[in-house]
A and B are shown apart, each in its own frame.
Chain A
Amino acid sequence: AQSVTQPDIHITVSEGASLELRCNYSYGATPYLFWYVQSPGQGLQLLLKYFSGDTLVQGIKGFEAEFKRSQSSFNLRKPSVHWSDAAEYFCAVGPYNTDKLIFGTGTRLQVFP
């Protein structure tokens, strides 16, 4: 069955530190991969997506993610975190033959000054 795992429920970093949020997926083929961010009480905003091609994708707000087929991973990174990055981050998989999304359980990011 298709699934998405975000191993880290909660991460705390200091402002200015680097960040990596982990995402692993289970799918028979190469899926479409997404990272979304959700601020409290709001909907989800698309940070970046991977469909094919270059395995390192750039997104908005200085985020990037790298697709590693051998590890079935799509980890999100940012070199220097800002206090405004504090939010919930969701990794999602879109199977090839459907426009549905399968979401991970999310990682809550806290940023300390």
Chain B
Amino acid sequence: GAVVSQHPSWVICKSGTSVKIECRSLDFQATTMFWYRQFPKQSLMLMATSNEGSKATYEQGVEKDKFLINHASLTLSTLTVTSAHPEDSSFYICSASKGRSNQPQHFGDGTRLSIL
């Protein structure tokens, strides 16, 4: 149980395009979803927390207009990287939880984003 699917797993696109990444909880309702960014050989950096039906809460230093997050249902959250540039290239990982502090986060397999 507690499976999180993230799609696509890998995307390459030209600079200036927008890229949407989906995160789905397949067998549970995810009240809260998290989006992380991970640089090579580094830890996860939390970008934002999204709760179903409300605006995402962004961490300090993360551009809201650059990284658009939507959490329209209890099983789906999307991250859109708008007008992507090479410096946005990274590994993006989502996770989902049932929204209570004693519930572990369950992670997707990540999306490797490469901007040319």
- Write the residues of chain A forming the contact surface with B, with a CB cutoff of 8 angstroms: 32, 34, 36, 41-46, 49, 51, 90, 94-101, 103-106, 108
B101 within 8 A of A: yes
Question: How many A-B contacts if CB must be within 8 Å?
Answer: 56
- A contact face: mostly helix, strand, loop, or mixed: loop
CA separation between A42 and B49, bound complex, in Å? 21
- Nearest 5 CB-CB pairs, A to B? A43-B107, A44-B107, A43-B109, A105-B43, A103-B43
- Give 1 or 0 for each of B89-116: 1 = CB within 8 Å of chain A CB: 0010101010111111111111010000
Interface bin, chain B: 20 to 34
In the complex, the answer to whether B101 meets A44 with C-beta atoms within 8 Å is: no
In the complex, the answer to whether A99 meets B99 with C-beta atoms within 8 Å is: yes
Residue of chain A at shortest CB distance from B109: A43
Residues on A with C-beta less than 8 A from B105 are 46, 99, 101
What's the least CB distance linking B90 to chain A, in Å? 13
